[in-house]
Amino acid sequence: MKRPLGMAAVVLAAFCFAGLWSGLISAPRVREEKMIRCRGQVINKELKESYGSYYWQITLGKLSIEGKEEEGLKRLEKGRLLCMLRSGEREPQIGSRLTIEGKLKPWEKATNPGQFDFGQWHLSKGLYAQLGQAGIVEYRKPDSLLSEELWQLRQKAFRRLESCLGEKEGALVGAMILGEKSARLKESKTLYQQNGISHLLAISGLHLTLLGMGLYHTLKKLSMPTRAAAPISMMAMAVYCYFTGNSISACRATWMFCILLLAKILGRSYDSLSALGLAAIVQLISNPYVLWDSGFQLSYLAVVGVSAVVPRLNQLFLPQRKIIKALLVSTGVGLVTLPVLLSHFGTYPWHSIFLNLLVIPLMAFLLWAALLLLGVTAIFSMESLVAAPLILLIKGILFYYEACCKLFEKLPVWEGYQGRPLLVCVILFYVGILIILWAPHRQSPFLCFLSLMVCVQLLSLKPNGGMEITMLDVGQGDCIVIRSDSGHIYLSDCGSSSVSQVGTYRLLPFLRTKGYGRIEGIFISHLDQDHYNGIMELLEVAEQEQFSVEKLFLPDSIRLCEEEIQEKLTELLELAEATDVSIYYLQAGNRVVDKRMTINCLHPGEGREGDYYESNNGSLVLSVEYGEFSLLLTGDVEKAGEKEIGNKIDQGRQYSLLKVAHHGSAGSSSREFLGKIRPLVSLISCGKNNTYGHPAKETLERLAEEGSLILQTPETGAITIRPKRDGSFRLETFVRGSHFRL
């Protein structure tokens, strides 16, 4: 059998995938918060800031938990624990043994399509749970200070880079060579991500190869024999991997680098795919959850692209020029990793294939210049003549990288939101690549190119599912996304008072996952923060994120509201004008028609001043109609507003869906109102354990009396509705995976 290690890795990955998917392989999960006391060894630490105060975040290994038999916590001891020490607690040394007390908490799990799953991500790092507000009960010094000294050296090196290069450039270089993540990195990281070169900011195979092979060849040029140069280089890269945080991609690269040099020592040939297989086996056995990690998937697939796909492309296209060969390398890696990038991020910057050709060749100069700068400044002063040219070189390369990114952003290249591909399309894509590249008969390069483009188009295929409505879980707030049967996207509110940056971390990932790059219209019921702050975020990043918003609909009565609301309105209108969004004011009787879907405005009526139209009772109320199916969107309207709305609704009409007003508060959803609309299903959007007591017990009782099925986002996560014109519809919940047909 050719490459048995590679085949074994594929079989093991398939086994892990099946086990994780079916639940046969599972890590212990914390269901509820509880106070515990445990002992463990400090593996890592990081100083964090929260609301102006600082605290230590540490990772504990070699765990021993008190009361584990009674509390069912024994399985937690097999993993690691992430602990947030109380502000003011002493700084623990890495390697020290601690006894700590704190509140054991479950990880925040994704409750919406596309939302980042913190629980899954931490499991891929071997972190089974977190301990909040922890206090040190007992402290024992480490037996060896080597790990602590390496950590201190890393921090000192990072501070030196910031002193030499400035905060922005220092943070960039610190991420590239030290694996140090800084808050100052955010702007540059976003720029690199949007242009497909964020891999430069992670300690990856590129970094290890450039540094490791550079060191090995330098030692060889100094007349050092292979049996000496190889072990020194292997040990140096292993220490460097540990020094920079043992990331998944860095560990993979270190294993492959050591196997390569071991082959040189033994005089054996090196097969990169076999080495890749061995590295995968080691990592999957250590922690099967790494299989879900995007870094793991991209790192391994990139090597498959370089080692298998690129040589085949060279055989088919027979490139003569170096630039064409380099382009084929970038294309080969891009082809193999494309489905994973779309699955995780919903978008792919196509120009990155060309941009990487411009930035990667300078990476070796940047890495070695940064390491030399650290060495030089450790001996001489930062202002020395030796350090000056290195600083100039590093800043010049970083300026060049940023200029290239901004240039490509201005070029007429298309990125857009392609959306998450269907699993069947991903399978057909990879099968198609195998058939096209490894077909037994000779193929023409032109036909091969066209066939590959057809495979790429497979990933953009989406079933025409008709109309779709999704109520996102945004905590204490509202957000509903509507896709009409014509494919147009509408948004009804987006805001939260309990989830920070709800537009960035809840709404945008959903839009990317679905491939919604153009919003036809946004309806804002009223200007309370929990209904519109996410929309402000959306408008602020619209140009940067390469999606467009066409229209913004507001209640007509908003122009008669108090001064505080007028200030919010002015800020919103200025932002809308800056992003070329058209503004429309709606009042009862207005409608928006999208082929077979109609959105009727039921409230507010003609604008008038007074308490009646202030705050919640001035909410925009919409009736969405699609054949026999109907949805009532009520904002935060209360009894006074409900009375007027009830007069506009035909007697005896039954609504398919009701977005329960004001998150289910007691002051809304009166018996008279519910008796007129008689909703089949009532959807409540609110925060889990919110301080307002939403939804109110009496509101739930009134809804139950009408025989309405009640779904709440804190329990179900996002709720997706797929209606048909005959009035029937299907409901799906994200968290519980429940399905209803009505």
Could you give phi then psi for residue 586, rounded to 5 degrees? -110, 145
Query: Nearest 5°: phi and psi at 502?
Result: -65, -35
What's the CA angle centered on 19, arms 16 and 22, to 5 degrees? 145
Average pLDDT over residues 555-581: 86
Q: How confident is the model at residue 483 (pLDDT cuts 50, 70, 90)?
A: very high
| CB-based contact 192:204 (threshold 8 Å) | no
- Residue-wise pLDDT for 112-163, tens only, equals 999 999 888 998 888 988 998 899 999 999 988 889 999 999 999 999 999 9
How many Cα atoms are found within 13 Å in the side-chain-facing hemisphere of 445? 9
pLDDT, residue 383, reads 64
- For 650-702, what is each residue's pLDDT tens digit? 776 789 999 999 999 998 999 999 999 999 999 999 999 899 999 999 999 99
Rounded Cα gap, residues 84 and 679, in angstroms: 46
Burial class (CB in 10 A: 0-12, 13-18, 19+), 367: buried
Each residue's pLDDT tens digit, 257-299: 999 999 999 988 899 899 999 999 999 999 999 998 988 999 9
The reported pTM is 0.90
- More confident call, 372 vs 208: 372
Sign of the Cα pseudo-torsion (315, 319, 322, 324, in order): negative
Query: How many of the other CB atoms lie within 10 Å of CB of 714?
Result: 19
Q: What is the dihedral of CA 639, 642, 646, 652, to 10 degrees?
A: -80
Distance CA 479, CA 523 (A): 10
Could you read off the pLDDT of 21-73 as tens digits, one per residue?
Answer: 887 888 777 777 888 899 999 999 998 887 778 899 999 999 988 876 656 67
Query: Does the pLDDT value for residue 415 go beyond 60?
Result: no
Residue pLDDT, tens place only, 65-110: 887 665 667 888 888 999 999 988 999 999 999 999 999 988 888 9
